[in-house]
Amino acid sequence: MDRADEEERLRDAAYRERIGRALAQSVLGWLVATGRAFSLVEGLDDFTSEDVALPQDGFEAENGVDDESWGEHSLDDRSSGPLAETGLLAGDLLEGQRVPATFEVSTCGPIAKRIVRGDAEFDQLVQSANAAIVFKDEEGTGADRIMSARLEAGLDALATKVSSEWPGVTLRVTEAWDENGEHAGASLHYEGRAADITTSDRDNKRLGRLGRLAVESGLDWVFYENKVHVHVSVRN
């Protein structure tokens, strides 16, 4: 060890337990987010809100912020506190960040079934006609316009914020309801409760800000998934 203080902390079994839980949560979070291990969530009933925020510890250490001075702040409250002083948390989401910092299923709930055309549940979905949103519609079936009413409301609010933030740029939805089985596991896309979004100019430098605007627009779970898009989802 090259730091006596860290060596001392590692002698504490509780601290080692926190590190183990943080690593486990991060790995399982990736597995769940990519649809590789949806069922593993059932084994995480003993995780608390404190546990799911632990990956933040690594960020603090890398940026010279003592986690003991961080206090009660969380990734969802970044307007003040030590992390705000790093200059890296000016409001925009970081790639890989989730708000809230939990599993999607924990915030939005699991799907009941894969909705297909002709189902009674399909009749409860809506078709967005918002002219301020560009829909990719690569299937040519209008599926990207189909979604739950709650998701539509969130995207409508986000579209307004995007147009205000970047004049001449609009919100772009690349995937909403999935009718072709393109997502692994029990994706919320199958119920029209999730959408992958970017901006009409496809400028990936805007994604961090887009993620923050999505949070402000009332989308229940926002994940800056990668350099291609932001993933958003809603509760029933």
> How far is Cα 136 from Cα 159, in angstroms, rounded to an integer?
15
Q: Which residues pair with 172 in a beta bridge?
A: 134, 198
The least confident of 15-29, 100-114, 139-153, 215-229 is: 15-29
What pLDDT, on the 0 to 100 scale, is given for residue 36?
54
Residue 71: is its pLDDT beyond 70?
no
Q: Which residues pair with 232 in a beta bridge?
A: 195, 222
* Mean pLDDT, residues 19-42 taken together: 65
> How far is Cα 228 from Cα 232, in angstroms, rounded to an integer?
13
Q: Say which residue, 136 or 69, is predicted with more confidence.
A: 136
Work out the percent of the chain whose per-residue pLDDT is above 90. Answer: 51
All structural domains of the chain, each given as residue ranges with its CATH number in brackets, are: 4-102 (no CATH), 122-233 (3.30.1380.10)
The pTM is what? 0.64
pLDDT in tens, 148-170: 999 999 999 999 999 999 999 99
37-51, 59-73, 156-170: which is most confident: 156-170
* Mean pLDDT, residues 23-52 taken together: 55
